[in-house]
Amino acid sequence: MKVLRNLMDKMAPVFEEGGKLEKLYPLWEAVDVGVYNTNKKTKQAPHIRDSVDIKRVMILVVFALLPLYIFGAINIGVQGSIAQNMTRSWNENLWIGLQQILPIFVVTFLTGGFWEVLFASIRKHDVNEGFFVTGFLIPLIVPATIPLWQVAVATTFGVVIGKEIFGGTGYNIFNPALTARAFIFFAYPGAISGDKVWVSGVDGYSGATGLSIPAAIEGGNAKQLLDSFTQFDFSWWNMFIGWIPGSIGETSKILILLGAGFLILTKVASWRIMVGGVIGLFSTAWLTNGLAKYSTNTMLSLPAEYHLVMGGFLFGIVFMATDPVSASQTNKGRWIYGILIGVMTIIIRSINPAYPEGTMLAILFMNAFSPLIDYFIIKGNINKRMARYAK
């Protein structure tokens, strides 16, 4: 690898101050430290630093997401084969899925990378690793059938409006990947609506999502409706394993839970947010189950464990809500933030007739409120201290 290092050292002056391409320095810097670790040194105490940096933090999230990519690809093929009544091998399914995912992935990274480098060049800071995770998240939360131009527009919206106008990674209020998804959701409801799923490989083939089945019928029993649905297998175990149509990465709940375990072990994501979210979801679902007999709203009768494995809740609470920047930043606040996401998800799913799925909106809503939660937690710390000072 010495040859590459020497070559790069020779190229460096072109991008440094006074060089021909000095405007592209952030791009060069990103490539340079991407290929070789930085050789920056400490200038003051502490003289030694841990080997963790933002790159390592981000790559760990990507590690947690990779199984979802593979499962997502196979599942695209599987759903297509079920729709066409044919059998295919795993390899064929994977290959068909990859043909769908890779273009989305490439478009996301090209668009997002372009904006990252542009903002870094204008604002003269290093290219931030934050987009790395955003770029891996966006393809997982869109359906395989999404038009590529919509991916490009949504990524642009997510990166520019969701993050860069606030100052970049570390300063954003909303989760950029979720902002991108919300943009498609509201701007192009024909492609991603929450009440319909499309199966790739078969033109115009679509069906109801699990959540929209009980939402559409009044006065029924949600669990019975799901069990009797024939187009897709909406049994609890199948939804837990993930062989159902949906957005690319959110269907396999078991792999999401594995990813959650990995993120908690490596201390990248807050377990408080995840556990809080599940607590909020279960308790509110139990409450609506109790109220179900007073209403004709079928959704109210959907059992809590079904809420857990349906729609994007688990993916959202594990990978989206735990974005450390847009989430609450105090430990007590994280509990409140997580619990309220669970509560809001059920409220939107069950009580709001407009949207059968509520996780995305719940997380974005709580993103907006997390600074307020933190404000009160910090105020509490201050009040405690002031009371002691006054003694």
Partner 1 sequence: MSRLKIKKGYNIRIAGLPADEIKVGQVPSRISIQPNAFKSTKPKLLVKEGDSVQIGSPLFFDKNNPKVNWASPGGGVIKSIQFGPRRVIENIIIELDRDEKYIVGQSFQADSISTLGKEIVLDKILDASLFPMIRQRPFNKIPNPIQSPDAIFISGLNTAPLSVDLNIALSTRLESFQAGIDALSQLTTGKLHLTLPVESVLSEIKNCVINTISGPHPAGNVGIQIHHTSPLKPGKIIWTINAQHVATIGDLFLTGSFNPQMVATIAGPMVNDPTHIASRIGCSIQSLLHKQLKNGFSRIISGDVLTGTESSIDGFMGFYDSSITVIAETDEREFLGWLKPGSSKTRYTLTNAYFKNGNRNFSFSSGLNGGIRALVPIDAWENVLPMDIMPIALFRSIIAKDLEEMEQLGIIECDPEDFALCSFACPSKIELSEVIQDGLDLIEADG
For Cα atoms 129, 135, 137, give the angle at the middle one, nearest 5 degrees.
115
Q: Per CB under 8 A, which of residues 97..156 are in contact with partner 1?
A: 126, 128-130
Q: Cα separation of 305 and 293, whole Å?
A: 19
Which residue in 99, 283, 289, 329 binds partner 1 (CB under 8 A)?
A: 329
Residues 269 to 328: which contact partner 1 by CB under 8 A? 269-270, 324-325
DSSP label of 212: H
Q: How many CB atoms neighbour CB 159 within 10 A?
A: 31
Question: For residues 273 and 323, what is the distance between their CA atoms, to the nearest angstrom?
Answer: 10
Instruction: Report the residue number, 66 or 148, with the smaller CB distance to partner 1.
Output: 66
Whole-angstrom CA distances from 215 to 51, 205, 212, 341 are 50, 21, 5, 20
Amino acid at 350: S
Separation of alpha carbons 208 and 24, rounded Å:
48
- Of the pair 262, 286, the CB lying nearest partner 1 is at 262
Long-range pairs for 361-364: beta carbons < 8 A, 24 or more residues apart: 361/182, 362/316, 363/175, 363/178, 363/316, 363/317, 363/320, 363/321, 364/174, 364/175, 364/178, 364/179, 364/182
Pull the structure tokens for residue 102: 């890779």
Q: From the CB of 254, what's the least distance to partner 1, in Å? A: 22
Residue 102 CB, nearest distance to partner 1 (Å)?
Answer: 21
Amino acid letter for position 49: R
Our CB check for partner 1 shows the closer of 60 and 285 to be: 60
Query: Of residues 35, 102, 148, 368, which one binds partner 1 by CB under 8 A?
Result: 35
Residues 43-72 close enough to bind partner 1 by CB under 8 A: 44-57, 59-60, 63
H or E, element range at 81 = helix 54-83
Rounded to the nearest whole angstrom, what is the least distance from the CB of residue 377 to partner 1 in the complex? Answer: 8
Query: How far apart are CB 356 and partner 1 at their closest, in Å?
Result: 33
Q: Which of 12, 24, 31, 33 binds partner 1 (CB under 8 A)?
A: 33
- In the list 90, 149, 171, 237, the residue contacting partner 1 (rule: CB under 8 A) is 171
Q: How far is the CB of 337 from partner 1 (least distance, A)?
A: 13
Measured CA to CA in angstroms, residue 380 lies from 25, 102, 198, 332, 334 at distances of: 45, 48, 49, 11, 15
Which of 329, 313, 235, 330 shows the shortest CA–CA distance to 274? 313
18 vs 46, which CB is nearer to partner 1?
46
Cis peptide before 13 (omega within 30 of 0): no
Mark the segment that binds partner 1 (CB under 8 A) among 141-149, 212-220, 342-350, 383-391: 383-391
Residue with tokens 């593979």: 70
Taking the least distance from each CB to partner 1, the nearer of 5 and 23 is 5
Cα-Cα end-to-end distance for the chain: 65
Residues in the interface with partner 1 (CB under 8 A) total 59
Choose, by CB under 8 A, the member of 18, 39, 86, 354 that binds partner 1. Answer: 39
Nearer to partner 1, 13 or 103 (CB): 13
Least distance from C-beta 150 to partner 1, angstroms?
Answer: 29
Of 66-74, 140-148, 259-267, 295-303: span binding partner 1 (CB under 8 A): 259-267
Beta carbon nearer to partner 1, 91 or 381 = 381
Residues 101, 139 contacting (CB under 8 angstroms): yes
Is residue 6 a contact point for partner 1 (CB under 8 A)?
A: no
Q: What is the DSSP string of 326-341?
A: TS--SHHHHHHHHHHH
Contact 315, 72 (CB under 8 A): no
From candidates 7, 16, 21, 38, binder to partner 1 by CB under 8 A: 38
Residue 268 binding partner 1, by CB under 8 A? yes
Beta carbon of residue 51, minimum distance to partner 1 (angstroms, whole number): 4
CB of 378 to partner 1, least distance (A): 5
What's the min distance (Å) between Cβ of 179 and partner 1?
18
Per CB under 8 A, residues contacting partner 1 are 1, 5, 33-42, 44-57, 59-60, 63, 126, 128-130, 167-171, 265-270, 324-325, 329-331, 374, 378, 381-382, 384-386, 388-389, 391
